[in-house]
Structure 1
Amino acid sequence: MTDLRALPAETTSRRTVVKAAAASAALLPLAAAPSALAAGTAPVFRHGVASGDPLPDGVLLWTRVTPSGDALPGSGRGPDVTVHWEVAEDSAFSSVAARGTATATAAADHTVKADVRGLRPATGYFYRFATGGTYSPVGRTRTTAAHDAAADGVRFGVVSCANWESGWFSAYRHLAARADLDAVLHLGDYIYEYATGEYPGRDGAPRRHVPGHEITTLADYRARHGNYKTDADLQTLHAAHPVIAIWDDHEMANDAWSGGAENHTPGEEGDWAARTAAAKQAYFEWMPVRPSTAGTTYRRLRFGRLADLHLLDLRSFRSAQSSVGNGEVDDPDRTITGRAQLDWLKAGLAASDASWQLVGTSVMISPVAFGSVPARLLGPIGELLGIPEGGLAVNVDQWDGYTDDRRELLEHLRERGIDNTVFLTGDIHMAWANDVPVRAATYPLSGSAATEFVVTSVTSDNLDDILRVPPHTVSPVAVAAVRAANRHVKWLDMDSHGYGVLDVTAERAQMDYYAVSDKSDRAAGTRWLRSYRTPSGTRKVERADGPVR
């Protein structure tokens, strides 16, 4: 598997306060007026620009060209066109650091990627594309610290679960407005595959999916990705920061595993292998993820000697989800990672000399029992988690359904003395701060092997949405029951929508949780909810008094 850390780069220090202030000032117009960015997008570049997978000496650039009126995403129409790109140290492009050309073709849905190298570590850059005399919007990006640099800090926006029909992407707009982020980590469910009205399955959705039917073919997935990238807030996020992305299930189909999915019926929706191949091809065409990782999203990025980021693919290799109560969850022959990926992760964790090991995992690794939740809330929580009625003891779509992989990984952390491991998670539409216990039944006596920060959804439904009640009026009862039955869960929010900001220094890793005021309001504001941190060497989370400034 490609290890994106393994490329040489010269040594440099992290950005200084002066450089950060200068960058903030230069980028304020973009952050302050996201609507202007969308309004100024030329029709040729109607899907915006993006960057991703930053390295010390480079970054991946992305755009999509619409060369003719009929060359819509997924159409297979439109001529080949030559696209020019350039990267500069200033927004006026008077100091160009790199430039080149690429060809946009119908075979790749007229998407364009440029894997730019030769840049300076820990440096902010501006980039743009051009074709036929038309320029794209200007994006900004940032390279990472050199591999052996003693970086004093790194800061990520963290998001997951953005269903188009569930609300507006205000969380993206608020992250785009921050000039202090090194990158944004997207932990999956970037798109949803459902037909219009199927999920969340109620009237009053602010907008409709395109195409309107459930997506199953390459043309379908391309069209859905293309529709998502017409959103002004999503375009603003991509133009403002490099995005590091992994997929979860909805980039393919709900509760996907290596041989199928909960909502895939071969007789109705075709061959599963063909469907996943189409979904993955569209994903790699439309996302700023390096093509060297084609076929999977597990890979590794490095941020100086401060942090290694291990990104997992927990859909492509997993066994089918088991039924609760039949004992299969503990079967050592069942896997969520696949043998090759688990060995890769263990080897990377053991070999790393970084101060922190950050693991991007699309589903929660901490064990959670739901049996103590009041009966009237079991059904709604089961609906939220995608668990069949009567099967709510554990969520078998998470690591709880594959306990042998989890046991092996946590034992590896303990045996190798790998203290500063933090799992970063999405999927569950709730915010959590957890210790990851060695044995949940005997915690805290048995201690923890790592910690986990779970971010809530950008828009996808959580408990109050399903119950159609005001936030935090019913959920406190369920939260109290979950925490009472799971002593390693230090905080849980079942109702908010928003994002996280993870700040890592040598001394601690801290997640600041933010919520948007109303996902149905296109101009929603944001507020800080809580902050939790893991002090170095403790393998425990503790509450912080406020967000990192």
Structure 2
Amino acid sequence: MTSRLPAAPIGASTPSRRTVVKAAAATTALAAPLAAAPLAHAAEGPAFLHGVASGDPLPDGVLLWTRVTPTPDAVPGSGKGPDVTVRWEVAEDRGFSRTVSSGSTTARAASDHTVKADVRGLRPATTYYFRFSVGDASPAHSPVGRTRTTPAYDATAHGVRFGVVSCANWEAGYFSAYRHLADRSELDAVLHLGDYIYEYRSGEYPAAANVVRQHEPRHEIVTLADYRVRHGVHKTDPDAQAMHAAHPVIAIWDDHEFADNTWSGGAGNHSAAEGPWAGRMAAAKQAYFEWMPVRPSTEGTVHRRIRFGGLADLHLLDLRSFRSQQAGTGSGAVDDPDRTLTGRAQLDWLQSGLTSSGAAWKLVGTSVMISPVAFGSLPAHLLTPLAELVGLPKEGLAINTDQWDGYTDDRKELLAHLRDNKIQDTVFLTGDIHMAWANNVPARAATYPLSPSVATEFVVTSVSSDNLDDMLDVAPHTVSLAAVAALKTANRHVKWLDMDSHGYGVLDVTAERAQMDYYTLSDRTDPEATSSWVRSYRTLSGTQKVERVHEPVR
């Protein structure tokens, strides 16, 4: 049975599982009033109950993160607790005999006692260890984290490997996918494609009868304190702590970091009774930047670019801050050129970056699926005239207008840009939909395969959020098989689809190919769930198509 916490990355000062679970229990004991229940271990002095993390690696640096609990009442979201000086160290070895950088910062109630250190002056493509401490005579130390810088911008990188995850619903199951990624020492980073937290009240999604562990706070999160508490609970999960301690995490948000089906002016489950949307979105963003190892943005966005030598550029998108409101299902508004998913400035930024990239591979982290999806017994090319007659999307019957399917003008422009500028080896990496897919991305789905594929897309399933079999309460890979067959018949660019599994992906990139290995979990409700490889697909350089591979990269 796999250990709950990996020995290598987090070193001798790693808290035991019992300590981590007790910290989680203490944090989740929060109730109204918010800070009524103290954190047990903080009674002994300042404590690091939420682990350590790193993210957004560069050739010469990386962002470090932790949260200190200075006093028993300084629980997340409470606004209580004194300012505390927090020291950080970066070393070449886990024992910190070869320290290469150090400094200090201040944990304040104003930032929920979270701290970040944007460390520079490091060597490219190098593994480092880091820790935090509080106190003078006998300092309290955090767990030890491991991180890694990226190759030099002009370096010839022979390979890069990412863990890829999305959609981790606390109430739906355990985060075993994180644990299995933590155990993989060869990863350069973990890419989290959104829905790191969920905003729902307890028992709303999934239904109360299927809740494995309860959200805190129990109500739908709306205020800054609410979002801080929800993030704080997630950072007590032992699997989340293990993953963050083992690898730099490169994260973008999707809707549930805010509210369901977020758009720039609202969300599907936000009402006027919950206050102005702008205030709720600002609160959610503040908590996200406090609690995630992501460099803060003055524009309040997460779109950015990270380069891995000459091998890969990773373009990360923010598809919530600038989008127009979702069109209704069956509405011809999805083709309206005045509606946008990305916003004009971000689409220009992406297209310019793709054109100017000198990297062999152009990876695009997108929180929602870009491949068009039509549903029906007829092939997509026969649905096109019917769609035009009844005012549906010209590329078929849209299932999910929250995806790029709901904003076809942005997609048409982006795919035409790839085709017209002969930009090759673009791979979209996607979460959100709680299913695993391997797709060719056609310039025009209605005439595919006569029209070319201009990119490929790998979609990873959820860590724990409900899939089709969960929603229907049926055995996996039974009822869903008919839906898979219908979707593949109507969408010839879809080469593989798994509607029922939970798990993660491992993307391995070399100059010759980009390969996604898909792994599934034995049982999301089992905290000791095992992991097994299920499928692999790759795209060879210059092909713009996916093909099945019969074994994972070793």
TM-score of the pair, normalised by structure 2: 0.89
Q: Which moved more, 1:350-359 or 1:318-327?
A: 318-327
What number of residue pairs does the alignment pair up?
Answer: 508
Contact 1:246 1:362 (8 Å CA) reproduced: yes
| 1:205 shift after superposition | 1.4
Q: Which residue of 2 aligns with 1:434?
A: 439
2:276 corresponds to which of 263, 271, 296:
271
Q: What is the alpha-carbon distance in structure 1 between the residues aligned to residue 195 and residue 479 of structure 2?
A: 26
2:422 corresponds to which of 385, 395, 417:
417
Residue 54 (structure 2) pairs with residue 72 (structure 1): no
Q: What is the alpha-carbon distance in structure 2 between the residues aligned to residue 474 and residue 546 of structure 1?
A: 27
Report % sequence identity: 73
Deviation readout 1:445-480 (Å, 9 max, x if unpaired): 101110000000000000010111111111111101
Residue 53 (structure 2) pairs with residue 47 (structure 1): no
Q: What is the alpha-carbon distance in structure 1 between the residues aligned to residue 225 and residue 11 of structure 2?
A: 36
Say which SS state the counterpart of residue 156 (structure 1) adopts: strand
Q: Which residue of 1 aligns with 2:323?
A: 318
Q: What is the alpha-carbon distance in structure 2 between the residues aligned to residue 83 and residue 101 of structure 1?
A: 5
Residue 173 (structure 2) pairs with residue 167 (structure 1): yes
Say which SS state the counterpart of residue 487 (structure 2) adopts: helix
Contact 1:34 1:236 (8 Å CA) reproduced: no
Q: What is the alpha-carbon distance in structure 2 between the residues aligned to residue 170 and residue 326 of structure 1?
A: 39
Q: How does 1:236-385 map to 2 (within 5 A)?
A: 236-266=242-272, 268-292=273-297, 295-372=300-377
Unaligned stretches of 5+ in structure 1? 1-23, 374-390
Q: Which residue of 2 aligns with 1:110?
A: 113
Contact 1:165 1:205 (8 Å CA) reproduced: yes
Contact 1:293 1:299 (8 Å CA) reproduced: no
Q: Which amino acid aligns with 1:413?
A: L
Contact 2:224 2:283 (8 Å CA) reproduced: yes
Q: 1:181 to 1:37 in 2, by over 3 A?
A: farther
Q: 1:34 to 1:147 in 2, by over 3 A?
A: farther
1:530 corresponds to which of 521, 532, 535:
535
Q: What is the alpha-carbon distance in structure 2 between the residues aligned to residue 543 and residue 37 of structure 1?
A: 43
Residue 220 (structure 2) pairs with residue 214 (structure 1): yes
Q: What is the alpha-carbon distance in structure 1 between the residues aligned to residue 285 and residue 299 of structure 2?
A: 8
Residue 145 (structure 2) pairs with residue 145 (structure 1): no
Q: Which residue of 2 aligns with 1:83?
A: 86
Say which SS state the counterpart of residue 290 (structure 1) adopts: coil
Q: What is the alpha-carbon distance in structure 2 between the residues aligned to residue 170 and residue 198 of structure 1?
A: 22
| 1:535 shift after superposition | 0.2
| 1:27 shift after superposition | 4.2
Q: What is the alpha-carbon distance in structure 1 between the residues aligned to residue 427 and residue 15 of structure 2?
A: 34
Q: Which moved more, 1:80-89 or 1:321-330?
A: 321-330
TM-score of the pair, normalised by structure 1: 0.90
Contact 2:172 2:210 (8 Å CA) reproduced: no
Contact 2:10 2:245 (8 Å CA) reproduced: no
Unaligned stretches of 5+ in structure 2? 1-5, 24-40, 379-395
Q: How does 1:152-231 map to 2 (within 5 A)?
A: 152-231=158-237
- Give RMSD over aligned pairs: 1.9
| 1:401 shift after superposition | 0.4
Deviation readout 1:52-109 (Å, 9 max, x if unpaired): 0000000000000100011010000000000000000000000001000000000000
Q: Which residue of 2 aligns with 1:507?
A: 512
Contact 1:34 1:232 (8 Å CA) reproduced: no
